[in-house]
Chains A and B, each alone.
Chain A
Amino acid sequence: DTAVSQTPKYLVTQMGNDKSIKCEQNLGHDTMYWYKQDSKKFLKIMFSYNNKELIINETVPNRFSPKSPDKAHLNLHINSLELGDSAVYFCASSQWLQASIYNEQFFGPGTRLTVL
């Protein structure tokens, strides 16, 4: 009964390829996020979606395209992969109640992407 799950756990691919990472949450939350953790463990938000609507887009290259088919899923598609995309990508979710009221985020296990 994993709360936030991601697939795959590991992804090794060549430069220039297109790949997708999937995220699902069974917590009933309506806000989901993607974070990138680089080799120095620095975590930075990339996107957030609330009820399938894009809320945050942190100047991420447009090769990265999040897609939310429903509020329980937020997938990340990456086109033309580059060496610098190698990182661990974490999905997270939270319950958005209303503006100015914040709830903690629950994180998935991460997807380690290696671009060769």
Chain B
Amino acid sequence: AQSVSQHNHHVILSEAASLELGCNYSYGGTVNLFWYVQYPGQHLQLLLKYFSGDPLVKGIKGFEAEFIKSKFSFNLRKPSVQWSDTAEYFCAVNGGNTDKLIFGTGTRLQVFP
């Protein structure tokens, strides 16, 4: 069965610090990978996605993620965070002939000015 692990449950940073949020998945076949963001009181929005091709994907708001197949990882990065990045971040995976999206438990990011 597919599963997604996000090891950082709560991350606290100061503005301008660099960010890396971990995401590991378990699935042996071809996968599609996503990072969603949920700002306080809002719905989920797609930050970026990987389907195939270049394993380094760029998303909105300066975020990027790197798919490392050998490590089953899809970590999210941003070189310099802003206060407005305070939100919950969810990694998700879809694998096989299904439209089922499996989410990680989320990482709460707090950025202080």
Residues of B within 8 A of A56 (CB): 98-100
Smallest CB-CB separation from A58: which chain B residue?
Answer: B100
Residues of A within 8 A of B97 (CB): 99-100
Contact with A along B31-51 (1 / 0, CB 8 A): 010101010001111100101
Instruction: Identify which of A41, A48, A105 contacts B106 (C-beta below 8 A).
Output: A41
User: How many pairs of residues, A versus B, come closer than 8 Å at their CB atoms?
Assistant: 50
Q: Do A109 and B42 form a contact, CB below 8 Å, given A44-B103, A45-B100, A99-B97?
A: yes
Tally of B interface residues using CB under 8 Å: 25
Q: Which chain A residues have a beta carbon within 8 Å of chain B's beta carbons? A: 31, 33, 40-45, 48, 50, 55-56, 90, 94, 96, 99-100, 102, 104-110
Q: Do A108 and B49 form a contact, CB below 8 Å, given A40-B105, A48-B100?
A: no
Instruction: Identify which of A43, A102, A109 contacts B32 (C-beta below 8 A).
Output: A102
CB-based contact B88/A41 at 8 Å: yes
Q: Do A94 and B105 form a contact, CB below 8 Å, given A102-B32, A108-B43?
A: no
